[in-house]
Every structure is written in structure tokens, then in C-alpha cells.
């Protein structure tokens, strides 16, 4: 992708009605365009989606393929894809507009700052789909299922909220199970080392991203973990 095409996508994101951007860590505001500040913290469903439906976040959403698939599958829910890569978000946002999916939006920000833009108890569900596994042990805290990130999610989740992980990385899968099992605020509900070889069914099982299809074509197993926020003490 050329530098020019990325810049064009960044510019178009500013005009998309389903994209909200965070431009600087020192600034707590999200912007609907370069100059219009918005504050939907605690009111995403009523303020942006104009309903009271449950809210699901897809973290590190990339092109938003999972967010789009879930939005089409569940018209009675709201979905927000979160990622720091603006050019990736452009793909999902443009496709959502083309498909007429009004129950999905995108927020460009770092996941570390979720509680800046989402209030306590606001989020009903989180999906983490094929995140960077950060295989080096020195970067374990950057894994999206690390204790540090589980603490951050606790700041925005409703009691009883569900969380889901799909990954092709067996080490991240094992790490995630340990993180959940040792965290006071979560309980593991289901784990499977090869979800497509399992008889366990759920509506979103066969939503597949571009990279997931590549992993499957290469013979990799897709691991799945489901867990619940129980509201215990975070660290």
C-alpha cells in the first residue's frame, strides 16, 4: 500500500459517520472529524446508535471482518471495532456503510485507553480475534489476555459480560487460559484447542477473517476460549 493511499484513507475516515478517532494520548477526546469532539462515554448505545441494545467490542479488529459479520448476524446488538490502525479501520467502515449496517462503528485508539471512552458497566461483551501473540516472554504484558489487560477490561464490563478469544497460536491460547484461571474477576466457561473439529456450536463460530482462512488453509488449528467477568477484585 502506498503512502499516498494510506493518507487518502485517513482523510476519508474523518468523513465516515461510523468512525471515531483519538488523536493523542494526552487528549481524552474522540473526534467524529478532525475538529468535532464527541463524548459517548457511558452513552454509546443511546448517543450514537440511538437504541438501548447490548454493546459488543471487538478489540484489535483489523479490517473489522468479525465486527461486520456479527453486526449482520445480530441486528439487535451494537458492535464497535477498536484498533489503532486507521487504514485497516477504513476497510471495515467503508464496507459497513456499503452494506447498510447501522449497528456497527469503529474507534481508532489504543486498547490500553478503553476506560477513557467507555464507562464502567457499559460493555456487554468483548471479542479478541487473532491478536498479536507477542511471543517473546518480555512482552507478555502486551498480550490482550494478559492480567494487565484483563484489569483494564474490568473497568468497562458489565457484571456477567462474556469475553471470547480466537487464536491460531497455541502458546497464546495456553497463556490466556492461565491468565483467566488465576484472575479473581473472571471465570473460564469453555476452551477448545480446535474449534472447527469440535461439535460445540455458537452463532459466531463460522465468521472467519481473511487471515483465519489462511491459517486454516495452512492446516493450523483455531483455538477458542470463552470466559465471563464475575466482578471480583481486579489487581
Strands 37-38 and 55-59: unpaired
Q: Where are the beta strands (DSSP E) in 77-185?
A: 78-83, 104-108, 123-129, 157-167
Top-confidence range, 42-56, 84-98, 206-220: 42-56
Residue 186 has pLDDT above 70, yes or no: yes
The mean pLDDT value for 35-39 works out to 87
143/4: higher pLDDT: 143
| Segment 176-182 mean pLDDT | 98
pLDDT, tens digit, for every residue of 159-173? 999 999 999 999 999
pLDDT bin (cut points 50, 70, 90) of residue 235 is very low
90-143 pLDDT, tens per residue?
899 999 999 999 999 999 999 999 999 999 999 999 999 999 999 988 899 999
Contact 145, 139 (CB under 8 A): no
Tell me what pLDDT residue 210 has.
Answer: 86
Residues 5-32: tens digit of each pLDDT: 665 665 565 678 899 999 876 777 899 8
User: Pick from 179, 130, 171, 190: which is nearest to 153 by CA?
Assistant: 179
pLDDT for the residue numbered 234: 44
Share of the chain above pLDDT 70, in %: 91
Q: Which three cell numbers stand for residue 34?
A: 478532525
Cα–Cα nearest to 231, from 179, 153, 165:
153
Catalytic residue, from 132, 151, 169, 181: name it. 132
Q: Is 171 designated active site?
A: no
Give the model's pLDDT for residue 9: 60
Under CATH, what is the fold of the domain 3-229? Rossmann fold (3.40.50)
Q: How does the average pLDDT of the chain come out, rounded? A: 91
* pLDDT band with cut points at 50, 70 and 90 for residue 88: confident
Strands 104-108 and 78-83: parallel
What are the helix and strand counts (H, E) for the chain?
A: 7, 10
**Cα angle: 129, vertex 103, 15; to 5 degrees:** 95
User: What's residue 18's pLDDT?
Assistant: 92
pLDDT at residue 232 tops 70: no
Amino acid at each position: 500500500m502506498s503512502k499516498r493511499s494510506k493518507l487518502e484513507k485517513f482523510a476519508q475516515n474523518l468523513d465516515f459517520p461510523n468512525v471515531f478517532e483519538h488523536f493523542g494520548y494526552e487528549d481524552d477526546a474522540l473526534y467524529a472529524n478532525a475538529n468535532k469532539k464527541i463524548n459517548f462515554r457511558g452513552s454509546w448505545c443511546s448517543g450514537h446508535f440511538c437504541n438501548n441494545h447490548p454493546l459488543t467490542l471487538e478489540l484489535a479488529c483489523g479490517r473489522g471482518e468479525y465486527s461486520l459479520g456479527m453486526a449482520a448476524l445480530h441486528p439487535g446488538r451494537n458492535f464497535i471495532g477498536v484498533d489503532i490502525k486507521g487504514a485497516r479501520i477504513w476497510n471495515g467502515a467503508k464496507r459497513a456503510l456499503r452494506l447498510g449496517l447501522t449497528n456497527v462503528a469503529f474507534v481508532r485508539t489504543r486498547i490500553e485507553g478503553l476506560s477513557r471512552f467507555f464507562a464502567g458497566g457499559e460493555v456487554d461483551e468483548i471479542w479478541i480475534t487473532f491478536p498479536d501473540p507477542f511471543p517473546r516472554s518480555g512482552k507478555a504484558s502486551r498480550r490482550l489476555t494478559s492480567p494487565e489487560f484483563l484489569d483494564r477490561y474490568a473497568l468497562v464490563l458489565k457484571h456477567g459480560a462474556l469475553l471470547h478469544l480466537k487464536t491460531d497460536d497455541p502458546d497464546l491460547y495456553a497463556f490466556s487460559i492461565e491468565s483467566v484461571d488465576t484472575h479473581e474477576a473472571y471465570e473460564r466457561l469453555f476452551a477448545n484447542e480446535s474449534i472447527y473439529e469440535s461439535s460445540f456450536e455458537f452463532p459466531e463460530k463460522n465468521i472467519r477473517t481473511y487471515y483465519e482462512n489462511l491459517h486454516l488453509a495452512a492446516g493450523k488449528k483455531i483455538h477458542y476460549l470463552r470466559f465471563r467477568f464475575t466482578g471480583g477484585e481486579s489487581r
